[in-house]
């Protein structure tokens, strides 16, 4: 009978305190829901403000690092204020603690602002197109020890961050435009001035070619017995670089085949025949 009495007492205790337990559960569930809602709304507000500033303000502000630190501080302040409100709802006194917490966030933001230039960091982020250690591709992820680069053929290369930091890095995503350089050798017998103008016209007709930072131009870079070497320069948007360069090469080849004033120089090789100085044998 004793086990039954003990079990019955436990059940009666749970029933008698179930209302109190459910009340506390309901109270804290509302508290958690309110906290999450505040974090969500606050983060969304700062995020939208950050996007608007990046679109309309960053281009006019020379010190972009200051704006990034300011918005990073706002994100942390939303989290700190939420924690303080939760502690206050529980019944804790957060007056002095709240002031200290906010002061710590502001002091940390000032320290980060001045220390960022001295902290080692990789000069790229995921999504950038880079070339380093003979590997060219798009950065997928950057972990504590490795940088994962996805090449254009689909293969993935893992490079140690220490090796990347010690190597020469070309970041093609930092510049909005890239220069295309194409070199051809034309016949010295052709009308060079007309050929030069025709090359400029072919390149300028492509809508992807930009007038800034400089308009398309053609320069004679070298001349020899084979022909005149001409180099074509033009600028396109970074994302159009590969496609535009390929299409411009095809247009140049087609223009040369059609005989539109452009005559490519054919490779030449001189052959000297030396007569044998050995006298013929008599029989």
270 located within any domain: no
Higher pLDDT, 7 or 116: 116
Q: Specify the pTM.
A: 0.49
Residue 160 sits in a domain whose CATH number is 2.30.30.60
Helices (H), the chain: 2-56, 64-90, 95-115, 161-165, 192-204, 241-257
* Residue 215 maps to a domain: yes
**pLDDT band of 18, cuts 50, 70, 90:** low
What was the pLDDT predicted at 233?
A: 92
> Rounded CA gap, 25 and 283, in Å?
124
Using 50, 70 and 90 to split pLDDT, how confident is the model at 25? low
Q: Is the confidence at residue 281, as pLDDT, over 60?
A: no
Higher pLDDT, 44 or 204: 204
* Of 59 and 131, the one with more pLDDT: 131
**Mean pLDDT calculated for residue range 106-135:** 79
Structural domain boundaries enclosing 72: 10-118
| Total length of the chain | 283
Residue 16 lies inside a defined structural domain of this protein = yes
Q: Examine residue 269 and state whether it is found in any structural domain, yes or no.
A: no
**Is residue 221 domain-shared with residue 191, that is, in the same domain?**
yes
Q: Report the 10 Å Cβ neighbour count for 279.
A: 6
55 and 149 share one domain: no
Classify burial at 103, counting beta carbons within 10 Å of its beta carbon; exposed 0-12, middle 13-18, buried 19 or more: exposed
**Is the per-residue pLDDT at 249 higher than 80?**
yes
Whether residue 213 lies inside any domain: the answer is yes
Most confident of 33-37, 90-94, 100-104: 100-104
Percent of the chain predicted with pLDDT > 70: 73
Residue 217 pLDDT > 60:
yes
Q: What is the mean pLDDT of the chain?
A: 77
- 72 within 8 A of 109, measured Cβ to Cβ: yes
Residues 113 and 146 in one domain: no
Residue 248 lies in a domain: yes
Last residue of a domain, one of 171, 187, 202: 171
Q: Are strands 209-210 and 228-237 parallel, antiparallel or unpaired?
A: antiparallel
Report, as an integer, the average pLDDT of 151-170: 87
Question: Domains in the chain: how many in total?
Answer: 3
Residue 6 predicted with pLDDT over 70: no
| CATH number of the domain enclosing 252 | 3.30.70.100
Residue 1 has pLDDT above 50, yes or no: no
Task: Mark whether 153 and 221 lie in a shared domain.
Answer: no
- In this prediction, residues 203-219 reach a mean pLDDT of 88
With respect to residue 281, please indicate whether it lies within any of the assigned structural domains: no
């Amino acid at each position: 009978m004793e086990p039954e009495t003990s079990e019955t007492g436990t059940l009666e205790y749970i029933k008698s305190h179930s209302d109190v337990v459910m009340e506390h559960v309901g109270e804290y569930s509302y508290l958690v829901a309110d906290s999450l809602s505040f974090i969500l709304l606050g983060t969304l507000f700062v995020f939208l403000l950050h996007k608007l500033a990046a679109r309309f303000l960053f281009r006019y502000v020379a010190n972009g690092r200051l704006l990034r630190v300011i918005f990073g501080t706002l994100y942390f302040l939303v989290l700190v204020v939420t924690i303080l409100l939760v502690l206050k709802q529980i019944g804790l006194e957060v007056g002095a603690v709240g002031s200290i917490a906010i002061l710590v966030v502001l002091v940390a933001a000032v320290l980060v602002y001045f220390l960022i230039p001295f902290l080692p960091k990789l000069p790229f982020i995921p999504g950038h197109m880079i070339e380093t250690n003979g590997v060219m591709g798009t950065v997928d992820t950057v972990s504590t020890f490795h940088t994962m680069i996805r090449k254009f053929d689909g293969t993935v290369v893992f490079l140690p961050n220490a090796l990347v930091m010690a190597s020469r890095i070309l970041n093609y995503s930092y510049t909005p435009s890239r220069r295309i350089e194409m070199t051809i050798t034309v016949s010295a017998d052709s009308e060079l001035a007309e050929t030069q103008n025709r090359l400029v016209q072919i390149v300028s007709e492509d809508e992807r070619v930009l007038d800034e930072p400089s308009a398309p131009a053609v320069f004679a870079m070298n001349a020899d017995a084979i022909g005149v070497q001409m180099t074509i320069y033009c600028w396109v948007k970074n994302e159009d670089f590969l496609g535009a360069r390929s299409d411009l090469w095809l247009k140049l080849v087609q223009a040369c085949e059609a005989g539109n004033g452009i005559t490519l120089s054919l490779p030449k090789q001189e052959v000297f025949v030396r007569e044998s100085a050995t006298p013929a044998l008599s029989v």
